[in-house]
Chains A and B, each alone.
Chain A
């Protein structure tokens, strides 16, 4: 991922609205892609999370230190925000109708197109697994970056991703 220049980050941290807009325009599409998949394609949830992520980015910008890349820092915020949002949502759902399953349930004879299959498969994974899958396989983040984002050890992440891929293979075979 191309990183934005330091000056823009610093200006945005000082409250420059134009710089913050440039920052948003640069990173929001990446964040949107990963958040959208982490929510298993739930657009309204993804929209809420994306909004929350950039509000948090704005508030925390002055604390950003360039020890890690800006994208890794932003992914960490996106990861934490997504996890807390989705766990809150899951708790609320457990008290009512399980919407995700209800949305996906339908006539089994209906022909699911590729997008629906992906949604269905993603819905069977946990939000953390979905995040790992997308950030590793699509955004091609390194295990080092993933460890920094999730706060887990690289070795554990390697094992999780490897198991996840076998699980996916199985799920796709059964589709």
Chain B
């Protein structure tokens, strides 16, 4: 065989098989499904963790809701509430009326 015949024969390729494209499509689809599955699984995991954290934390939230402030804090709150309601002046006046000015003369 000479060089020319070799290159002529080299240029000849057998017919391309028909089943390659369906196999490519199948592989692509499988990969897409796998990626979707992974994303779905990740979303479920995040949701499960979120629910878990919420449930684990719920006793604390109940304790906070049931907690009662101390007497001193309650007094302070009442004082602030009175201030906003404009009722603190009355209390102040009552306080001043207890002071006997003659003591300071």
B105 interface hit (Cβ, 8 Å): no
Q: Which residue in A54, A59, A118, A175 is a CB contact (below 8 Å) of B20?
A: A54
Query: With the chains together, A131 CA to B24 CA distance in Å?
Result: 23
Could you tell me the distance between the alpha carbons of A21 and B9 in the complex, rounded to whole angstroms? Answer: 29
Is B14's CB under 8 angstroms from A43's CB?
yes
A47 touches B17 (CB 8 A): yes
Query: A114 to B9, Cβ gap below 8 A?
Result: yes
Contacts of B6 in A (CB 8 A): 117-118, 121, 168, 172
Chain A binding surface, main DSSP class: helix
Chain B 38-79, CB-CB to A under 8 Å as 1, else 0, gives 000000000000000000000000000000000000000000
**B interface majority secondary structure:** helix
A121 to B7, CA, bound (A): 12
Contact A24 B1 (CB under 8 A): no
Contact with B1, one of A50, A58, A172 (Cβ below 8 angstroms) = A172
Determine the distance from Cα of A77 to Cα of B97 in the docked complex, in whole angstroms.
97
A36 touches B (CB below 8 Å):
yes
Chain B residues contacting A118 (CB-CB under 8 Å) are: 6, 9-10
Can you identify 9 A-B contacts, CB atoms within 8 angstroms? Answer: A28-B20, A55-B24, A58-B24, A58-B28, A115-B9, A115-B12, A133-B10, A134-B10, A138-B7
Binding site for B on A (CB under 8 A): 17, 21, 24, 28-29, 32-33, 36-37, 43, 47, 50-51, 54-55, 58-59, 114-115, 117-118, 121-122, 133-134, 137-138, 168-169, 172, 175
